[in-house]
Amino acid sequence: MSVHVMRKSKFFAILAVLLAAFLLAGPVYGAGEPNRPDYHFTPNSSWMNDPNGMVYYAGEYHLFYQYNPDALVWGPMHWGHAVSADLVNWTELPIALYPDDVGNIFSGSAVIDWQNTAGFGTEAMVAIFTHEKNGRQMQSLAYSTDKGRTWTKYADNPVLPPPNNIRNFRDPKVFWYDDGSGFDHWIMLVSAGSMILIYNSPDLKTWTPTGGFGLGYGATCGVWETPDLFKLPVDGGPATKWALTVAIGGCAPAGGTGTQYFVGDFDGTKFVSDNPKETVLWADYGADFYAPQGWNEAPDGRHVWAGWMNNWSYGQDVPATTWRGSLTIPRELKLVTTPDGIRLAQQPIPELAQRRGEHWHWQDETIAPEKNLLDGITGDTFEILAEFEAPVDSPADRVGLRVRTSAADATIIGVTTKRPSLFVDRSKSGQVDFNADFPRVHVAPLTPVDGRVTLHIFVDRTSVEVFANGGQTVMTEQIFPAADDQGLVLFADGGEAKLISLDIYRMLSAAGAAAAPTEPTSSRSSLVIVAVILFLLLAAGAGIFLWRRR
C-alpha cells in the first residue's frame, strides 16, 4: 500500500468516526425543545406516566413516577424521582426503584414512618408499591433513611399477595389514620377491578382486610386504578368529609381514561358514599388528567395533588423526541357545598404566582365579534384570569379565548350561554393527526353564578388547564401547536358580551426570565444536517489535498 493510500484510508477512517459520533449523539435536553413544557414537570428523557410516592419531608416535596428509562413508550416500570421545595421548580434525581427478581415496579405511595413502626429506622421514608411479574400483582416495600436518595427493598417482599389470585390488584395508597380515639394504624387502599379493597396494619408489613368499596358505584366501564383517600373541611369550616378518588380506564367524559371521585365518610375500616350508586362525579372533564395522587404530609394542613397529563387512548402516540409524558400543575383540593351536594373543587397552588411576568389588565370592556382586545399580545405561556357576564339571554352565543393561534390553528376555550357549558376545542390546535381520538371538542357542565363565569387558565407550550367558577369545573388538555402559533384572541360569537375583568400574565422560565423561544435548540435532525455539512467540507478539503499531492 502506498503512503498516499494509507494517508487517504486514515483520513476517511477518522472522518467516519466523526460522522458516526454526530449521528449517534443524542439531542440536547432543555426548554428549547418545541414540545417540552416550560413550567410543568417532565423527565429529562424517556417515558413517564402515573405520579407515585407523593410525600413531603424535611422541606422537600418528593415526586416519584412510573418511568421507562429505555424507551418513549410504556415498558418495564421503574420509579423515577424528583424533588422540589415549592412544587414549581423541580430537580430530577437518579432512579429510585428498579425492577428486580420479584417483578417490575408499578404504582404506589410513600409515607414517613415517624414512630418506626416497621423497624426500618425512625423517620424512615417507606415506599409501598406493586410488584408485577407475568401478570401477577402484589404489594411490596422499600425504605430510605437518607431523604429518599438511596433505597433498600424489604427482604420479605411481597407483604401482600393478591387475594384469591385476582389479576388486577395494584396501586396501593397508604397513609396513617388517627381519629384521636386511640384507634390509629396504617391504611392501605388497593384497586381491584372496579372496586377498592381496604386494609389496615400496625407496622406496614402485616395487613388485615377490613372491607371494600365500589361494587356498582359510579362509573364501572373500566378498570379502577390509583386510589386516593383524604379528609377535607367542607366550605372551609369545622365540618369534614372524606373524598375517595379513582382513575378509571375508560368511558371518561372526554373519551378514554379519566378520574372520578366519591364524597362520604370513613371510619378507619370502611368508606360509605353520601351519594346514590348511580351518581358519577368527575374530577376533570378534559381528556388529559389521569392517576392523580396527593402529597402525604403536606404542610399547613392542605391537600395538594397532581396527575399524569395524558390519556391512554393516545398517550403513546403524542408527538415526542427525547421524552414523553408530563405532570399537571399541582392543585389544592377543597370541598364545597353546591345545589347538587358537596363537591370537589380544585384550585391552582398559589406558588405558581412566582412565575408571573409581564402583566396586562382590562376591566368593564365590551367584547365585540369584530374586535380583539388582545391584538398584539403574543406568546406560548400564560396565566389568564377572566370574568364574563354570561346570562342565558346574552346576545353572544359563545364567549372566551383562543390561545396559541395562527391563520390556520387555534385552541378555543369558551363558555356557551344559551345552554351553559364550558368547552375546549382542540380540533385545530396544531398537530392533531397522530391519533383519531385527539382532535375533538370536549364539553363540561357549568352553571353561571348570578349570570357570571370566572375562568382561571394556564397555557403552557403543549397544554391548557382551565379552572372555572373557583375550580368546581376543571378541564385539562394537551395541545401540540406549531412553534409560531403565538396569537391570543378574546372573542364573542353571535353578538357582544360583557367582560368584567381580565388579567393576563406572561409566565417566566425557571431562571426568572421570559420563557425561552419554542424553536428547538438542538435535535437529531439538526445534528444530522451539521454532520452532512461537515462531511462535505472535509471531503472537499481531502479532495484538494489529494489532488495537490499527485
State the catalytic residues. Answer: 50
The torsion of the CA quartet 421, 440, 373, 38, rounded to 10 degrees, works out to 110
Torsion of CA 26, 28, 31, 32, to 10 degrees: -100
Provide the grid cell at 346.
380544585
Phi, psi torsion values for 173, nearest 5 degrees? -110, 120
- Cβ contact 488:405 at 8 Å: yes
Contact criterion met (CB below 8 Å) for 452 and 470: no
Question: Is 244 in contact with 234 (CB distance < 8 Å)?
Answer: no
**How many of the other CB atoms lie within 10 Å of CB of 268?**
15
Say which residues have a Cβ less than 8 Å from residue 358's Cβ, sequence separation at least 6: 505, 506, 514
H or E stretch covering 201:
strand 196-201
Q: Which residues contact 135 (CB under 8 A, 6 or more apart)?
A: 167
Kindly tell me the burial class for residue 179, based on how many C-beta atoms sit within 10 Å of its own C-beta (0-12, 13-18, 19 or more): exposed
Q: Which three cell numbers stand for residue 505?
A: 400574565
Instruction: With beta carbons less than 8 A apart as the criterion, state whether 427 and 478 touch.
Output: no
Q: How far apart are CA 121 and CA 164, in angstroms?
A: 33
| 326: Cα separation from own chain's centroid | 5
Q: What is the dihedral of CA 18, 24, 26, 27, to 10 degrees?
A: 70
The whole-angstrom separation of Cα 368 and Cα 374 is: 12
Compute the distance between CA of residue 36 and CA of residue 131 in angstroms, rounded to an integer: 31
